[in-house]
Structure 1
Amino acid sequence: MRTGDISATAQGMGRAELLRLPAAIDLDTANRAIGLGRSKGYELARLGAYPCRVLRLGRKYRVITADLLRLLGIDAAFGEGSAADAA
């Protein structure tokens, strides 16, 4: 893997990529979007302190995408910001 490939996967996610996410995502994807490391993200989820809603399904964690987008200030209906910003 080239160095450029590694840095691209370690960075956060762009708005367009965030808007293409399914209704619930795995914790690693949410961590990437927020900019959290894997260990810290799992620690926060385990403690119930993750910055948005997390579901525990068996041994796996799922993050509600709508909550994640709200946390990041992205309105899925308009792409970013509020309806007033779009006008």
Structure 2
Amino acid sequence: MTGRPHTPLTFREVLDLPVSVDLRTAARAYGMCLATAYRLVALGTFPCETVRVGRRHRVLTARLLASLGIEERPARAWP
């Protein structure tokens, strides 16, 4: 799409996410490119539930963390 490399989110970045994130951020958390994320959403096979807001897709961070196997946020994200 844009030719920019996609870099996965670090553990600390994942733990610092707001209540919901855009599809690009969720895709980075899974280590996939945005085109793959849109394709999976269209097929209904994205790793967690997405919410359509107008023309955009949002992902609740709690659902994202659960699908990544992170059940609880630690009190402090370590460096």
Distance 2:14 2:55 in 1: 25
- Match runs of 1:2-81 below 5 Å: 10-78=6-74
- Paired letter, 1:24: S
Q: Bigger radius of gyration, 1 or 2?
A: 1
Query: How far off is 1:78 after superposition?
Result: 3.1
Q: Is the 8 A contact 2:15 2:73 kept in 1?
A: no
- Return the offset for 1:45: 1.0
**TM-score, normalised on structure 2?**
0.79
User: Take 2:30 and 2:13, find their aligned partners in 1: how far apart are those partners?
Assistant: 13
**Matched-pair contact (CA < 8 Å) for 1:53–1:67:** yes
Given that 2:65 and 2:71 are in contact with CA atoms closer than 8 Å, whether structure 1 keeps it comes out as: yes
How far the C-alpha of 1:48 sits from its partner, in A, is 1.7
Residue identity matched to 1:26: D
More helix by share: 1
Which residue identity is paired with 1:72? L
| Structure 1 unmatched runs, 5+ | 1-5, 80-87
Question: Identical aligned pairs, as a percentage?
Answer: 40
- Which has the bigger relative contact order, CA under 8 A and spacing at least 6? 2
> Deviation above 4 Å: which 4+ runs of structure 1?
none
TM-score by length of 1: 0.72
SS in 2 for 1:25: strand
Cα RMSD for the two superposed structures? 1.8
Which blocks of at least 5 consecutive residues in structure 2 are unaligned? Answer: none
